[in-house]
Chains A and B, each alone.
Chain A
Amino acid sequence: QKEVEQDPGPLSVPEGAIVSLNCTYSNSAFQYFMWYRQYSRKGPELLMYTYSSGNKEDGRFTAQVDKSSKYISLFIRDSQPSDSATYLCAMRGAGGTSYGKLTFGQGTILTVHP
């Protein structure tokens, strides 16, 4: 079983829809949670960064972390065609032997059609 599981999709939604992207994980030592967006043939860019459980909002994007369920989500409101990309969740522990080591999900391919 992989440490981080992410539904690879593909996910196709109409413009203006609310998108929900999810990851589950098995390692209870994970403390820091990230969402990256990756356009085709480009490097990933950091979208959201959260620590421990709770919600974080940034414009149309909301990241949720539920450590008790080992479950993280990214919500995109009023989705736009420019949101079409692969979304990667990533997480890591608090330091020590897990220093700097990110564990990634497989990525979800999202297409928002006009």
Chain B
Amino acid sequence: DGGITQSPKYLFRKEGQNVTLSCEQNLNHDAMYWYRQDPGQGLRLIYYSQIVNDFQKGDIAEGYSVSREKKESFPLTVTSAQKNPTAFYLCASSRSNSQETQYFGPGTRLLVL
């Protein structure tokens, strides 16, 4: 059953804590993306990766970090430097061809305690 999985579904962060959101895909897609969704603001791009061991900052990368050690996996760390982390985080993937569109995972809701 091909798709994108994200875990956990809900995540709670304490002040000053780093947390990592998981994203895995078995679609054999080369490119992967992380978005943040806030009410009334649509989706904003945090980081993206076109190939293993390479990634680029999106529009709102400050306070976040990523890694791409495997084609299937693109974890996102929300660091303590991100002062407003409460949001819905969406991972997406696509084939490497720039004409291909993106398919999304089910999302992780991050809340601050």
Q: Which of B51-72 contact A (CB under 8 A)?
A: 58
Q: A102-B43, A102-B102, A104-B43 are in contact. List 5 more A-B contacts (CB 8 A).
A: A44-B90, A46-B102, A100-B102, A101-B48, A107-B42
Would you call A43 an interface residue if the criterion is a C-beta within 8 Å of the partner chain's C-beta atoms?
A: yes
A31 CB to nearest B CB, Å? 9
B contact set with A: CB distance below 8 Å: 4, 6, 31, 33, 40-45, 48, 50, 58, 88, 90, 94, 98-99, 101-107, 109
What 1/0 mask marks residues of chain A from 58 to 75 whose CB sits below 8 Å from any chain B CB? 000000000000000000
B48 CB to nearest A CB, Å? 6
Interface of chain B, main secondary structure:
strand
When chains A and B are docked, how far (Å) is the Cα of A42 from the Cα of B103? 13
B88 CB to nearest A CB, Å? 8
Q: Which residue of A lies closest to B31 (CB)?
A: A100
Number of A residues whose C-beta is below 8 Å from B?
26
A contact set with B: CB distance below 8 Å: 4, 6, 8, 32, 34, 36, 41-46, 49, 51, 88, 90, 94-95, 99-102, 104-107
Q: Are A43 and B45 CB-contacts (below 8 A) given A102-B102, A106-B40?
A: no
When chains A and B are docked, how far (Å) is the Cα of A101 from the Cα of B4? 19
Contacts of B98 in A (CB 8 A): 94-95, 99-100
B33 CB to nearest A CB, Å? 7
Q: Which residue of A lies closest to B43 (CB)?
A: A104
